Amino acid sequence: MLSVIAVVSGYVEELDDKFKEYLQNELWLVEFYAPWCAYCHTFEPIWHEVGAELKSMGSPVNVGKIDTTVHTRNLSFDYKGLKTKDAIIEFTNRVSGPVVRPLSSVQLFQHVISRHDLIFVYIGGESLLKKQYYKAATEYIVYTYFFTAYEEVLPKAVTLQDVPAVAVFKDGTYYLYNGKLVALAVVDEKNPSEESIRYKTLMEKLSAEYRDHYKSNYQFGYMDGNEYINGLIMGEVEMPSIIVLNMTIDGYCLPESKIETIEDLLHFLNSVLDGSAKLLGGNGFLQHTKRLFYKAKSTVVTMFQVAPFLSCFLFGLPLGIVTLIIWGTCTAVPVDDEKPVEGATASPVLDAHGKKAIELQPESTGKTSEAKKED
């Protein structure tokens, strides 16, 4: 089990519960490990290299590790990238600073573009779009960088139709976010199948040959892996597949039949535009609540996949305690505090032959009718 977290609060320090006291005024990059985890032992030299290099760089980030079988977790950002020194240091530099960084000059903008393959930039002043941008940045800072800038610092090649705007800079070009629908081929590039290659090729052909036709309605692309899409639709999207996203309302459309040709793909896109395709998802209260439950469920599933024994202990212990309390409450024998009636005897008892024994009655101060006749 391995979880690497950067939190706001050098070499590698062994931390305990007092670590929580540092959160308010220090930066920490922490490995959460288990002594029984074989991979954690394999990863340990890399973790010490990370600590050494961050210290040599003069980084304000402290590096430590916590035994999760002894101490509980209090996290801010989960690292799910490659378990390499360079990838972890890149993650640390990204999440240890502001969620959104300002680009105040042309020189700084060019420096950032030269260092990163993909960045998001908000252009303009205060607006509702800016609030939404900051919200998105807080959630996705673990994946990439987010910046703000004014028009004056942008490259001359960038042309804006409206301000404020959000631009994505990637592979030497840029794309403007304007609320368009996003048509994606969801593929697995690590294990490419013939169908994956075909879907990606179809999307590339669509983007090249039909861009002018759909430029006011669609943006085209492909996505390696379905993790993000699964979180959006709160389900499992098969790979490969085609999906259209409405990012404004967190909605999506899936084709009702299999996409075989470019004509099938065009028919699907047109059905989305004319409203005949079923719109799923959304950002209403019900969908928002379902998304919270889905994220909680995904977290629990991930815990059991990564550390099944520890997860069974964490969930089984409180469940067992509650079960014992309920069982004890239901099976408890009440104590009879009432005093026995004077002169009364025990309840009827059966003899050895199963017959009812003579039943003793409470003594009566009055005489029976037969006794009165004898008198």
- The angle formed by the CA atoms of residues 302, 304 and 306, to the nearest 5 degrees, is 65
> Which of these is catalytic: 37, 253, 312, 330?
37
- Cα gap 214→217, rounded to integer Å: 5
Sequence-distant (6+) residues with CB within 8 A of 185 are 199, 200, 202, 203, 221, 222, 223, 240, 241, 242
253 is annotated as an active-site residue: no
- Cα gap 295→251, rounded to integer Å: 17
- Cα gap 229→252, rounded to integer Å: 10
- Cα gap 179→218, rounded to integer Å: 9
Q: Are strands 181-187 and 241-246 parallel, antiparallel or unpaired?
A: antiparallel
- The angle formed by the CA atoms of residues 269, 274 and 277, to the nearest 5 degrees, is 65
**Cβ–Cβ contacts within 10 Å for residue 250, how many?**
16
Where is 229: in which H helix or E strand?
helix 227-233
> Which of these is catalytic: 40, 253, 312, 330?
40
312 is annotated as an active-site residue: no
- Cα distances (Å, whole numbers) of residue 329 to 247, 307, 316, 317: 51, 33, 20, 18
- The angle formed by the CA atoms of residues 176, 177 and 178, to the nearest 5 degrees, is 110
Q: Judge contact between 116 and 45, C-beta under 8 A.
A: no
Go through 287-296 and write b for each residue having 16 or more CB atoms within 10 A of its CB, e for each that does not. Answer: beeebeebee
350: left (phi over 0), alpha (psi -120 to 50) or beta: beta
Work out the burial of residue 108: count CB atoms within 10 Å of its CB; fewer than 13 is exposed, 13-18 middle, 19 or more buried. middle
Q: Judge contact between 253 and 278, C-beta under 8 A.
A: yes
What residues act catalytically?
37, 40
